[in-house]
Structure 1
Amino acid sequence: MSKQTSLLGFLKRKEPESATTSMAEENIPEPSTTMQEQNISGTREIENEDFIFSLERDPGLRAPMWHYPVEKRDEIRRAYLKLKLYQPLLRRFPYSGPEGHRRSFQASWYKKFPDWLEYSLSKDAVFCFLCYLFADKPNPHTNTFTMMGFSNWKRVNEGTNCPFVTHVRGPSSTHINALRSKIDLLNDRGHIRYAFVSQEEAQIRRNRLRLEATIDVVRLLTLQACPLRGHNESDNSANQGNFLEFRKAFGRYNDDVSKAIEHPSYNAKYIAPSIQKQILDIISSKVRNYIREEIGESKFCIIVDEARDEAKRE
């Protein structure tokens, strides 16, 4: 069985740059690593604070997106979007082509295609930032701008036939689909995890409202010295006792309370006798604490009237 490859195997530790869209004006450095070196598996997990600086900035040295674990791809995409495009500004870009017609990349092209055009120092070629991020498998239609890089500078001035223009042309082109995927990725409110969070928050509100109704009923019945439990509290009973009947009455005058009572989450009904006793204990503690605060160190006593049942037991 092959050794499991961790995410670190595809990344390289980078020092933070002072700017996301420019570099110091200097000669083109020799690449220090190759794609094969970047794909060596690692054993240490990447920490969150170091993750963004571990990403390869040069588009010519990046590992294809489909080499990363599927569950990590969105995280990597967000990190790259946070870093923004790699658009170095050099004092002079290298020339290529036949003698007498040598041409080079022009920094002014950044302004014409600011949302996706990237330049690779290692390959002296341009890449599409969006197509790289959202390419989940090799695509012959986008390999030029995602893996190999485009460097035929002569064709850039061909007007509507410019490869940069034809790359983004068409409402259903791969580039347009990548742009839509970027919008969907950044639309956090549409992400499934927010749907779960929203459901959890709504459930918490209903649980609290259900508990508040229980507390209010217990406090009301206790203040009026009324018994809480009924003789028959089953669902088929015509009279379930003071506690349950008062609780249902509260729900008739408020739709939110009614929904919270009638549709409890799992078994969180908050109607068990043990729950009622806990609420009474909390109320009694608050009463005692209030009395202590009022009388200070003075002594006090409580007189309780007794009542007998038919067997003459108190």
Structure 2
Amino acid sequence: MAEIGANEVDYLLLHPFSLMSLEEKLEVKKLGAHHPKDLKMSQKDTRQNRSFCVSWFQRKEWLTASQAKKSLFCFPCLLFGGDTAWTEQGVVDLKHLSDKIKKHECSTSHIGNGVKLTMLGKVNIACQLDEGHRFAVQRHNELVKKNRHSLSRIVDCIKFCGAHELSLRGSDESSTSLNRGVFLDLVDQFSFLDSQLADHLSNTQVAKYTSKTSQNELLDCMLSVYEKKLGDEISQAPFVAVQADETTDVARVSQCVIVLRYVTECSAVERFLSFSPLVDRTAEGFEKLLREKLQPYKLESKLIAQTYDGAAVMSGAASGLQARLKETFPHAHFVHCYAHQLNLIIQQACSCLTPVRIFFANLTAFATFFAKSPKRTAVLDEVCGIRIPESGQTRWNFKSRTVHTVFEQQNSLKACFEKIQNSQSWDSVSVQQAHGLSTLLEDEDFIFFLEFFHAALMHVDIFYNTLQKRTTDPLNTGQALMNFSRSITGLREQLIKDDCHPNAPRRMQRSGCVSVATQCCSIMIEQSKARFEKARHLMSFELINPELFSQFKASFPQQQLDVACEHFPMICKEKLKGELMVMYSSAEFAVLTSAVTLLKMLIENNLQNTFSETLKLTQIAITTPMTSAESERCFSTLKRIKSFLRSTMGQDRLNALAVLSIERDFIQKSPDFNEMVINLFASQKNRRAELLFK
């Protein structure tokens, strides 16, 4: 994409001339009005078709045009303000263009703006002689510097509250209140360390910018600045992927979260886009919302992946969201979230066999027993020094934590139950249940399944933790899946081997425990093959898997190459094949370990042009998300921000606070964030405090 000049209309519409420094203004004046040579404007009516003639630019030097809007503007008025038709909307009426130009040239605003542009940068003799004027400007700029410093500290306080998900406002914000809110108390604390802020708060009566209205305006500005920076990052990214999910917040509003993933600085980043209320929860409703949110970023040729859960409204191949979105974004291939699929696999393995269902029902009783009574919890803390996690319905790793805790604390739990049974201070129900659970810990079948699932779910946790990483990509996900299948297969073989051993424990030779456990392993393995069977386009990423380079050197992977070029037509097949053949036979590439290391090597050694097609495929692979875990993390933030006590906030405030929390690292690393917020805040309307330099 060609860089937009500072004197072009599209640039000036996004970057107001009034907010520029003097050096930037003089640069725009030096460049003059932009006259696009390839401007194509036409107008049809009943008599004839009209086209814009570029000779107008020679006849009227002040005339300029927008390539994006296909409309004409006045250069001086665009800089200093004037008739909205010539400064904001643009003139498109070619039939009456001559009359409109004559009328505009006669207007006082146009003539005045022409004088301003001509005199910009020239020193007025009167100003040279007027010492008082120079002093007034100097004093104004000093005041502006102080005001901007104080406002920047206030912005820092809002950023701090947002980053730590603290409520800004208190129940009573008056000076005599004992609960003024975290924000006002934090501003007071800042004032003890910052004399300029203290002076601002003590001497300013009407423009302190700490009121709820100012908070909302500053939050709106922060959100706008974040969205601009996000847009700038996306414009530089070669490819983009989208994740989306939906939940219901505490106010019973259906919230859809949208997350974008792309490559920056040789690694993948996942950026929060927005929470949006979802009235229509059908595939059509999701599609309309996503199109609306993605439209400003112009992703038609960049969107290469979309990742959701397995709900039919999202993943439906005929009329689901992914199929509908692919009509506009043909290269946005769907990936069913691997974390959701892993959860379904373990649920399937542990719910279809009666002995296993009985085991987990009994296991749940341990957490339930202690959770129902503070007295029971106290004795658990005293004897074991650890709590037993309760099982979750949507996160299998919660259930694995229960298994691991009970397995590791068997002896401590026995001592705890024995203490309850032997004490006279406990009620009969507690004694009865403690006796039952104590007996359960002596049951051979229960202990067998406890040991088995302790071993099996350790491998599940390893796989699950890999899927939760923001940096996960198809290559390391595939490796983690292979390790998981290999571990479960090894566990099954070990069970069979131990059961056949002549010295096997009695419980290994009785009932059907071993048979049930091996069936569980078989279900996990078969379900993994079925559910994680690679989508066809994921096969193409094997081309850049360093672990396969030696294999591909002996036998070139033509099938994977065909798949890659079929699904990603922006890649040149012949050039990619040549690059890969060189890469497979090169010792420098053989030592790489992942797609990320390959990308770093290409960029750090300035090989982007030499391996241009390999670079594209690597960027696509790293951009493709394998899970929607970031969406789940956003929902956790939503629950902390929009709580029972803060359930009536507006959607814009919710998004602004969510950005400050979710993307706090991104905001902290933006050195000009506060300056951009203050510039936008100052330009929105006439402020009582001076915030703009002369």
Higher strand share: 2
When normalised by structure 2's length, the TM-score is 0.17
Which structure carries more relative contact order (alpha carbon 8 Å, separation 6+)?
A: 2
Higher helix share: 2
**Of the two, which has the highest radius of gyration?**
1
